[in-house]
Structure formats: structure tokens, C-alpha cells
């Protein structure tokens, strides 16, 4: 069994984003059908008795960029090594374009890998570093120099061709690592925390640059990261991993709006946890009587029993504070307001213990006195309901 491909959604997203880049790239849709399909079929990896990844199914369509996102130690790099062929999995198969590549060496698979620590050869110049992969792949000598020039141009590093890696900044070194790996025209691009060593602003620039390159080249890409913002901003789809298993595979928006588990809800973005008891439920809808005092209805994707304890997860920006009480509002005591860049973050306590966070845009926000306010869900809020027995998750 493999996860379904979400191609229409992906194409829509790429095109919308492509407008801004149209002047620089080659426009919308050029990447379609160019990349190679990558499938992981029921992959399990054991190291002795330890199971690093278990029963992983993932279907990445040609030209798609999927992020493997999860906390440190959840098995992201192990999966990447399995795709590249550096580790032979204990069970399951890796397929490129529907063909198993399990028996092929990393070189025969034709994958390009970029790691966090650049991994450039310090004694070689930039140009020699990029040429290295081509020579190792036995490119005809006459074609190596023009290809190196083309790749350095692609990553805007032509003028640095004769420098050594230590004469470059981290971001520049990472561009060279990328050029080296793209030079061989890999079937699949594998990025293992490639921006991890860069400082915040540079990281954002590099994310944009790599995303735009990836889309223009139409290259199937797996990005490993523990940084949710990075996954949200660069990937077409995100696979959230937890302790060696996939919790959810979906578009960034779907992961954020319809998290499949409390773990995903808490790992992606931040969320408020409101406890309560199911008042009524059918297959598609449930209402929860919150301990905070109100009953709220939400769409659900699983069944709940009336009387069952449950958790409502609501994003801080999907709550509001009002000076008026109402049937859908519960009282909270505002204790603290912090200006966090573009937002105000309010921290308020609930009548029966616990606290919540409410954010609102800082510009135009009314001044709020500490004390009692009435809290409700904004129109269109996407609250998610989870069984309370998972609360230790």
C-alpha cells in the first residue's frame, strides 16, 4: 500500500507560487512529468534489535518535493540513506519509475545528495569540486568543463570557480554542494538538513533559491528537516515522522488545518489544547462540552462516543478575545501580552485550570487590560478533535 499522489493539488500550488518567479524561471508547469517517480514500499530498517523505521510507504510523484519532517532520531536520515543506497533496508523496496532499485549501488541509482555539513573537498577548488562528480560518473572529458561552468552559473557562483571551500561562506559552500550534486543530472535529489548550519535570514534565502531551482529543473526531491517552517515553506507535501513511523502525509495546508493526530497538531505550528466531554457525535460531526464552560461543534473524521473525554485543538490565531460574553464564548483571565514581531501573543488562564494562547495582528490591535475576557473561535476556524486517551502523545 502506498500513499495516494496528490498531483492536482500540487500543481495548483506550484503554479500559484510560480507567478512571482515567472520572470526568472521558465514559468508554470514546465516541471510537469519531467521528474522521476520515487516509491518507498513497506520499508523497515533494523539496527540489531532497534527498529529505526517501520513499514514506511511513500509515493513521490515526478518533480514533486516531499519533506520528511520529524524530531531528531525519528528516522529521517535513515530513510534518506535507504533511498540513496548507502543502507540496504531490512525489508521493503525502493522503486524509481516503478522499478525496484534495491540491488543498485548509490552511483548506479543516480541520486544527488546534499548534507548539512557541505562535504566539499577542502583541497580542491570550487570548479574541481563540481567536476569531481562528473569525472566519477565517467563523463566525457570534453563535456566536463562546460558542464561545470553551466552549474556554477545556475547557482550564481561562476566568479568563485577558483576559490577553495574555506574561502567561501556557509551559504556559498552549500550552493557549490548543490551544483556538484545537480551536475550529474540526478534522478532524485536528496537534501539532508541542507540549511541547518546557516543563520536564519540566509536560510530563508537559500530555501527560496533551492525551491525555485527544484521547480525549474522539475527534479523529484526529498528534503529532510526537523524545522517545521522549512518544511511548510518549501515542500509540496510533508511526511510527518514520529519514532520511525509516518503519522501523516499531506500538503502543508492540510497538515496544518487537518492534523491526523495530536502529535502532528502540536509538532506543526502551535496549538491550544482544550479538554472536554463529547456531548453528541455522528460520523462527520461532533460537539464537545469544554471544561471551560461552552459546547462547540466541529467536523470530525473519526467516530466519538457521547460521554467520552476528548481534546479540542485550536490554533492561537483562530481564537479571539471579546469584552462581551456569548453562548459560544468562555471566560478567560488575560495575564500577559507579548509583542512577537507582527503579532500580539496573549496568554490567558482558563477557569478550571490550564492556559491558552491567543494571537492577533499587532497593527490595529486594541489595547487590552489584564483581567476577564470572553474567548471564542473565529469564523472559519479549523479546530480538530482528538480522543483524550492520546493526551500523553
Residues found near ligand ADP in the complex (CB under 6 A): 47, 50, 52, 70, 72-78
Q: Which does 133 bind (CB under 5 to 8 A by kind): ligand ADP, Mg ion, none?
A: none
Q: Among residues 24 and 50, whose Cβ is nearest to ligand ADP?
A: 50
Strand ranges across the sheet with 65-69: 111-115, 188-192, 220-225, 65-69, 237-242, 245-250
CA distance 106 to 371: 62
Minimal distance in Å, beta carbon 15 to ligand ADP?
32
Strand 272-281 relative to strand 111-115: parallel, antiparallel, unpaired? unpaired
The item of Mg ion, ligand ADP, none sharing an interface with residue 201, based on CB under 5 to 8 Å by kind, is: none
Q: Which is nearer to Mg ion, 110 or 196 (CB)?
A: 196
Closest approach, Cβ 1 to ligand ADP, in A, equals 23
Task: Tell me the torsion sign for CA atoms 89, 93, 97, 101.
Answer: positive
Q: Which does 47 bind (CB under 5 to 8 A by kind): ligand ADP, Mg ion, none?
A: ligand ADP
Residue 73 CB, nearest approach to Mg ion (Å): 8
Q: In whole angstroms, what is the distance from residue 215 CA to residue 362 CA? A: 35
Indicate which of ligand ADP, Mg ion, none lies near residue 72 (CB less than 5 to 8 Å, by partner kind).
Answer: ligand ADP
Q: Which does 337 bind (CB under 5 to 8 A by kind): Mg ion, ligand ADP, none?
A: none
Scanning the chain, the segments in alpha helix (DSSP H) are 7-21, 76-84, 106-109, 126-136, 141-154, 170-183, 200-217, 228-234, 252-257, 262-267
Binding-site ranges for Mg ion (CB under 5 A): 77
Contact of residue 207 among ligand ADP, Mg ion, none (CB under 5-8 Å per partner type):
none
CB of 77 to Mg ion, least distance (A): 3
Nearer to Mg ion, 231 or 314 (CB): 231
The DSSP code for 147 is H
CB of 226 to ligand ADP, least distance (A): 7
Sign of the CA dihedral with 96 first, then 101, 102, and 105 last? negative
Residue 75 interacts, among ligand ADP, Mg ion, none and using kind-specific CB cut-offs from 5 to 8 Å, with ligand ADP
Q: Which is nearer to Mg ion, 77 or 318 (CB)?
A: 77
Q: Which is nearer to Mg ion, 75 or 252 (CB)?
A: 75
- List, in order, residues 6 or more apart from 77 with CB less than 8 Å away: 192, 224
Sheet of strand 371-377, all strands in order from the earlier edge strand to the far edge: 319-322, 371-377, 330-340, 343-349, 355-361
At its nearest, how many Å lie between ligand ADP and the CB of residue 76?
4
Closest CA to 132 of 117, 147, 153: 147
Radius of gyration of the chain (CA): 24
**Closest separation between CB of residue 71 and Mg ion, Å?**
10
Amino acid at each position: 500500500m502506498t500513499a495516494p499522489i496528490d498531483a492536482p493539488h500540487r500543481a495548483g500550488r506550484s503554479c500559484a507560487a510560480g507567478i512571482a518567479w515567472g520572470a526568472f524561471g521558465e514559468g508554470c508547469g514546465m516541471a510537469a512529468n519531467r521528474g522521476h517517480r520515487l516509491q518507498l514500499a513497506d520499508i523497515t530498517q533494523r539496527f540489531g534489535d532497534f527498529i529505526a523505521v517501520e513499514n514506511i510507504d511513500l509515493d513521490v510523484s515526478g518533480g514533486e518535493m516531499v519533506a520528511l519532517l520529524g524530531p531528531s532520531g525519528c528516522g529521517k536520515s535513515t530513510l534518506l540513506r535507504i533511498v540513496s543506497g548507502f543502507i540496504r533496508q531490512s525489508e521493503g523496496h525502493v522503486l524509481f519509475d516503478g522499478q525496484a532499485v534495491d540491488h543498485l549501488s548509490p552511483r548506479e541509482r543516480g541520486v544527488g545528495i546534499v548534507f548539512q555539513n557541505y562535504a566539499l573537498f577542502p583541497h580542491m577548488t570550487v570548479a574541481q569540486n563540481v567536476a569531481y562528480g562528473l569525472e566519477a560518473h565517467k563523463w566525457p572529458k570534453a563535456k566536463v568543463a562546460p558542464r561545470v561552468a553551466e552549474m556554477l552559473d545556475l547557482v550564481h557562483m561562476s566568479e568563485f570557480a577558483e576559490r577553495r571551500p574555506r574561502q567561501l561562506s556557509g551559504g556559498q559552500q552549500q550552493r557549490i554542494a548543490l551544483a556538484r550534486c545537480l551536475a550529474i543530472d540526478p534522478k532524485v535529489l536528496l537534501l539532508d538538513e541542507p540549511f541547518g548550519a546557516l543563520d536564519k535570514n540566509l536560510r530563508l534565502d537559500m530555501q527560496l533559491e533551492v525551491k525555485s531551482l527544484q521547480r525549474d529543473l522539475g527534479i523529484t526531491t526529498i528534503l529532510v528537516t526537523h524545522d517545521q517552517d522549512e518544511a511548510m515553506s518549501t515542500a509540496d507535501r510533508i511526511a510527518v515522522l514520529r519514532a520511525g513511523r509516518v503519522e501523516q502525509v499531506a500538503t502543508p495546508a492540510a497538515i496544518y488545518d487537518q492534523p491526523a493526530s495530536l502529535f502532528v497538531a502540536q509538532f506543526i505550528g502551535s496549538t491550544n489544547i482544550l479538554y472536554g466531554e463529547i456531548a453528541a457525535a455522528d460520523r462527520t460531526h461532533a460537539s464537545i462540552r469544554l471544561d471551560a464552560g461552552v459546547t462547540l461543534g466541529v467536523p470530525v473524521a473519526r467516530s466519538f462516543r457521547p460521554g467520552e473525554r476528548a481534546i479540542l485543538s485550536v490554533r492561537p490565531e483562530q481564537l479571539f478575545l471579546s469584552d462581551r460574553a456569548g453562548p459560544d464564548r468562555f471566560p478567560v483571565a488575560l495575564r500577559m501580552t507579548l509583542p512577537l514581531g507582527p503579532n500580539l501573543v496573549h496568554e490567558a488562564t482558563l477557569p478550571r485550570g490550564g492556559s491558552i494562547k491567543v494571537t492577533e495582528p499587532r497593527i490595529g490591535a486594541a489595547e487590552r487590560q489584564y483581567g476577564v475576557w470572553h474567548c471564542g473561535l473565529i469564523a472559519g476556524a479549523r479546530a480538530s478533535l482528538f480522543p483524550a486517551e492520546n493526551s500523553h502523545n
